[in-house]
């Protein structure tokens, strides 16, 4: 396990960038070839009235969904492994994860759903956005903003701290 860890520390960034480049090319080729085999060009998508038969995006979307599940499983396995290996640092990860979940729940219950003005179109039956879904979207966006701001502040703090060490 140490050899794998050392290898990933040394070449992990290159592996991640290479894998994402390969997946980007596969996704792009899937869209191009899928639209060609479907009998339409990509520029026709904006003028087509019936988009129910457009499935050129499916391979990339399914790849993304599977990668999400694999990444989640690997993350959870890493957390569990870290807890057993070093309880002190592993427990901090669990506390952080629980903190993110609690923040999302708080943001969900404090989010409001707007009904009127510029948001009237979203409440049409075609979109299928309910009050619950609207609050989930708001909580997700607020969580994204909060975590982005927190990450930015922490990066600044640790860089400044590292500069003076």
Residue given tokens 């997946």 in the structure block: 23
Lowest mean pLDDT among 10-14, 22-26, 113-117, 133-137: 113-117
CA-CA distance, 71 to 18, in Å (whole number)? Answer: 17
pLDDT band at 24 (very low <50, low <70, confident <90, very high): confident
Mean per-residue pLDDT, 32-44: 72
Residue 42 pLDDT: 72
And the tokens for 142?
């607020």
pLDDT at position 122 over 70: no
Mean per-residue pLDDT, 68-90: 84
pLDDT at position 98 over 80: yes
Distances (CA, A) of 123 to 104, 107, 133, 149: 23, 21, 11, 31
How wide is the angle at C-alpha 64 spanned by C-alphas 63 and 67, nearest 5°? 85
More confident residue, 7 or 23: 23
Residue given tokens 């609207």 in the structure block: 134
CA-CA distance, 52 to 128, in Å (whole number)? Answer: 17
Lowest mean pLDDT among 18-32, 49-63, 77-91, 117-131: 117-131
And the tokens for 163?
């500069």
pLDDT band at 149 (very low <50, low <70, confident <90, very high): very high
pLDDT band at 114 (very low <50, low <70, confident <90, very high): low
Mean per-residue pLDDT, 80-92: 80
Mean per-residue pLDDT, 90-101: 84
Q: Whole-prediction pTM value?
A: 0.54
Mean per-residue pLDDT, 48-56: 71
More confident residue, 38 or 7: 7
Residue 40, classed as helix, strand or coil, is: coil
3-state secondary structure 83-105: HHHCHHHHHHHHHHHHHHHHHHH
Distances (CA, A) of 122 to 30, 49, 108, 144: 31, 20, 19, 22
């Amino acid at each position: 396990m140490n050899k794998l860890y050392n290898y990933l520390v040394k070449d992990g960034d290159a592996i991640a960038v290479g894998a994402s480049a390969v997946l980007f090319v596969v996704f792009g080729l899937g869209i191009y070839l899928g639209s060609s085999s479907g009998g339409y060009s990509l520029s026709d998508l904006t003028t087509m009235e019936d988009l129910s038969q457009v499935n050129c995006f499916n391979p990339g979307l399914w790849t993304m969904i599977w990668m999400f599940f694999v990444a989640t499983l690997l993350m959870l396995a890493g957390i569990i492994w870290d807890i057993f290996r070093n309880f002190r640092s592993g427990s901090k990860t669990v506390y952080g994860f629980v903190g993110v979940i609690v923040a999302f729940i708080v943001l969900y219950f404090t989010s409001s759903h707007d009904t009127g003005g510029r948001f009237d179109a979203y409440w049409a039956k075609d979109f299928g956005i309910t009050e619950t879904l609207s609050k989930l979207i708001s909580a997700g966006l607020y969580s994204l903003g909060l975590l982005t701001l927190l990450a930015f502040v922490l990066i600044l703090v640790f860089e400044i701290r590292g500069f003076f060490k």
